[in-house]
Structure 1
């Protein structure tokens, strides 16, 4: 009798364990590139994003989610859950001679792939890597079972034909094997196609997919049929379009009508001051940019369709973010202006959005990619998990990239190890968003968040935010609760708050091996930064 009872208990516990294991979600992390806060329909845009808007309507949006203002440092934080310096990518994917600035992910900072594989997940990455050029540090060497995409910071979307003498080839890697994009293929479609083929392999195992699109990062290239969909839509110009988006954001509940809106960028000329020909050129740029975002949405529809076909949609969490705000002028990085070898939108196009339209993309915030003003570090955040996340939720946040790794590990039942392959690991500094996503529980509002990149610095704690821009190196203070547009510097009125946040920054800088930018600043003029 005792043996029978023991057997029943073992069977029951085994069934419970198997049930819990089966309930672990598949996780899909989607990142788009150089997309502004307002560029999805669910965040105020006129661009057609019905699939993304559906995810938002059936899931959760955050009003305040932060990235690291530029590609490689954002990806370093995202993939490891560390601040970028702690992960080894404090500046970019270039080596500046110190471990915190080596330009590739160190071994003390574990990737999604490494942690979730140990928890029984199959791990996939399709798209952009940009956290280590040497093949020793490619995705398959850092825990991902399958990888397709490109290693560096930017890529054309089409094969070089017919501009074979002037346009570089699209150099790709699949599972450590180099290959080129086939003629006639569009890279956004191929990134999705490979992601779909990978999730078919997962069968009954839970999977993690990091889907890292390069759209709508320059160069402006898109299928002609998608561009045609936006013909004439941008004839109203950036002044009117920004107001349109702001009005829509307020109606959606994404923007607070009580908050100050960023002042007009003095570098953005008035639309009506342009000649007819100039307006036609600028319209074309935004038509192509919109088409690139539109194509991402179409591809996410393909992905969702496949999840449904595989009957995996009910147990899949999808999180969608952007790596930084929209890009302003290239003069910020010293890069020469690109020269087109064909019409804007074609495979010979090497143009980009520029601050006139980026000013719209980042509505209602100040500034652009590469700065820690809100326009540089604010991302849309959409989370979808049917039956688990309450539909139509809009929450304040405040979340950061460093929170995603602990969130995914929490949901997956994965243990983040104190040592891995004989190397002691860095502890995770972020907070799990699991309770926010599943139960609507607020995040700790007073925890500080930090930024440093190329001498630009910031701290956000509660309603207060200090920002310092290189080379002025002077703290500005903003009350984000009433002035997320960062229109009024109140540092002189609150020197005690500035002093306290400065002290917090200095402690964080020491803990994360952050150096003064003057000591590390690259001396090569015109260094290419993506």
Structure 2
């Protein structure tokens, strides 16, 4: 049948309208990643810290209570953005901590491999604007920066961390804080504060495009990575909050977690060997430790405040209703800094770096703050261990997925989920195909994650079956998950380097070791772990491996290598001349 010119015109207009409508219907994605945030550090997960912006997202979305990441930042970020295991995406550990003997292996460079494709690249190819503002830590060479990995606009910190008030490295292994804008070195503004600045740049990027294309915004905050710093008005809100100490806080959060239904009502909690006795401290020591945690709370509060600014802007510009928010942390709480930060040695070390940790200015510009292992255990409450370790406190973190395209009421899921699930989830939300076998002329490592989209909509209760297993290793600490069970091995100084078996659904605090009661289950899971390690090229760490020491060794080599070589040769030459002189 031959159509009239009018019918052809109407059909064409309808097609164009449908295409335009389909473009508008694709949701915006805002992926927010906190740094070193503990499992119970936001109010909707049991915290006393005020986080109304994140609580509002939780009230209009789904909160995951059994979500796991790597226990260190770079491996999590690599898996988050690719859906590929850390031992196959090139980042099995932070590059600063990889032993030299491992660095000769292609999958142990600590830099995001070209054999994986980022979710940003896939969304960019699908017509999305792609933005990033925050910490990258997946490579700092020109072709390793996010501007070359799918992000069209970027402001990024390439290092493991940096100061939050100025463009300054936070540890001496870095000569400078390496910030980049759209792939080029850049200088931070004078009025810089990290959380505020990153949201300002995100809003700027979003507003720079007025077309109908959707956007993907990735915001990896510096909060609450060391140095823990916050504006005084946020810290002051919590000066009286932590006077009872870390043990009381840990118990308070455990109780609140039970009331919220985040953990079972009969779940137990262990006290870490690294937790000091609060009552043994002097009044002055208690006062100082309480402020350390107050600054930490202020930093979380400030991050939440600025997330609220972004949400308000999206509402004001009509973008909110078509935006999906994903919020999480890269790993559990950070225990660095010890429980005696005011020792003479610590203060001298900070002075050399241009820092102080005086009580009155703690958290302000020029100060260096940490919370130490005792408050880190409280931040991870009711879980055991913290960052770097494979205990639940190092790996289990909050995950909130929210937005009107998904839900308009609060839901909670205790289904096991893993960091590699985030990229497949985003792809399904945006109707973007997973990468084919080849991408950009290269064979691509396939994703292993599962989409959480159906789970987020309440259509299914699990995405992993009882027979599925997920393996994990980082710096010699290892785990394998299957159904409700987990085997875990933690090295020293806190762990014992032995395998243990737990039911982490009934016992998220890892207090009841089942290895003696269920030896067949332990043996079966160990067999699966060995298979995982073999298939993914997991290397055994040296017997004397210590992550902190390795960071120092690698840092000295990378920053001072040539100077140290010259100094060593000069010393040898001088020694030879001295021996010859003495013989003469």
Cα distance in 1, alignment partners of residues 315 and 548 from structure 2: 51
Counterpart contact for 1:157–1:170, Cα < 8 Å:
no
Correspondence for 1:258 among 266, 278, 282: 266
Cα distance in 1, alignment partners of residues 152 and 517 from structure 2: 54
1:403-456 residue CA offsets vs partner (Å, 9 max, x unmatched): 011111111111223211110111110101110112342222422122100111
Offset at residue 202 of structure 1 (A): 3.3
Q: Secondary structure of the equivalent of 1:180?
A: coil
Partner of 2:485: 464
Counterpart contact for 1:61–1:381, Cα < 8 Å:
yes
Cα distance in 1, alignment partners of residues 528 and 389 from structure 2: 20
Partner of 1:488: 512
Between 268-277 and 460-469, the greater mean CA deviation after superposition: 268-277
Partner of 2:300: 293
Q: Secondary structure of the equivalent of 1:27?
A: strand
Partner of 1:319: 326
Cα distance in 2, alignment partners of residues 60 and 90 from structure 1: 29
Partner of 2:536: 512
1:123-173 residue CA offsets vs partner (Å, 9 max, x unmatched): 111000001122220011111101102101011011279x9x9x9765421
1:16-49 residue CA offsets vs partner (Å, 9 max, x unmatched): 3432232110000000001100000111111111
Partner of 1:341: 356
Q: 1:418 to 1:302 in 2, by over 3 A?
A: same
1:94-149 residue CA offsets vs partner (Å, 9 max, x unmatched): 46221111111111111122111011111111000001122220011111101102
Partner of 1:417: 436
Q: How does 1:89-238 map to 2 (within 5 A)?
A: 89-94=91-96, 96-159=103-166, 170-203=177-210, 204-238=212-246
Cα distance in 2, alignment partners of residues 492 and 315 from structure 1: 52
Are 1:274 and 2:281 counterparts?
yes
Partner of 1:426: 445
Q: How does 1:346-425 map to 2 (within 5 A)?
A: 346-415=364-433, 416-425=435-444
Cα distance in 2, alignment partners of residues 390 and 470 from structure 1: 44
Offset at residue 14 of structure 1 (A): 4.6
Between 275-284 and 16-25, the greater mean CA deviation after superposition: 16-25
Q: Secondary structure of the equivalent of 2:238?
A: coil
How many residue pairs match? The answer is 523
1:479-530 residue CA offsets vs partner (Å, 9 max, x unmatched): 1232111112111222211121112112222222212223995899452499
Cα distance in 2, alignment partners of residues 524 and 387 from structure 1: 44
Q: 1:212 to 1:160 in 2, by over 3 A?
A: closer
Q: Secondary structure of the equivalent of 2:551?
A: coil
Q: Secondary structure of the equivalent of 2:299?
A: helix
Cα distance in 1, alignment partners of residues 539 and 528 from structure 2: 15
Q: Secondary structure of the equivalent of 2:242?
A: coil
Counterpart contact for 2:324–2:406, Cα < 8 Å:
no
Cα distance in 1, alignment partners of residues 296 and 12 from structure 2: 58
Counterpart contact for 1:159–1:169, Cα < 8 Å:
no
Partner of 1:84: 86
Cα distance in 2, alignment partners of residues 423 and 264 from structure 1: 49
Are 1:442 and 2:439 counterparts?
no
Are 1:58 and 2:53 counterparts?
no
Between 421-430 and 229-238, the greater mean CA deviation after superposition: 229-238
Q: Normalized against structure 1, the TM-score is what?
A: 0.93
Between 228-237 and 30-39, the greater mean CA deviation after superposition: 228-237
Offset at residue 231 of structure 1 (A): 1.6
Q: 1:417 to 1:487 in 2, by over 3 A?
A: same
Correspondence for 1:47 among 41, 49, 62: 49
1:259-318 residue CA offsets vs partner (Å, 9 max, x unmatched): 222x11232123222100100110110010011001101101110111012100000000
Between 272-281 and 348-357, the greater mean CA deviation after superposition: 348-357
Q: Secondary structure of the equivalent of 1:439?
A: coil
Between 426-435 and 507-516, the greater mean CA deviation after superposition: 507-516
1:358-415 residue CA offsets vs partner (Å, 9 max, x unmatched): 1111010000100111000001011111152241101112111100111111111112
Correspondence for 1:502 among 526, 549, 564: 526
Partner of 2:309: 302
Q: Secondary structure of the equivalent of 2:58?
A: helix
Cα distance in 2, alignment partners of residues 207 and 329 from structure 1: 37
Cα distance in 2, alignment partners of residues 430 and 152 from structure 1: 27
Structure with the greater alpha carbon radius of gyration: 2
Are 1:32 and 2:51 counterparts?
no
Partner of 2:573: none
Q: Secondary structure of the equivalent of 1:196?
A: helix
Q: 1:207 to 1:387 in 2, by over 3 A?
A: closer
Counterpart contact for 1:105–1:131, Cα < 8 Å:
yes
Gaps of 5+ in 2: 339-344, 556-584
Q: Secondary structure of the equivalent of 1:250?
A: helix
Offset at residue 208 of structure 1 (A): 0.4
Cα distance in 2, alignment partners of residues 228 and 474 from structure 1: 43
Are 1:453 and 2:474 counterparts?
yes
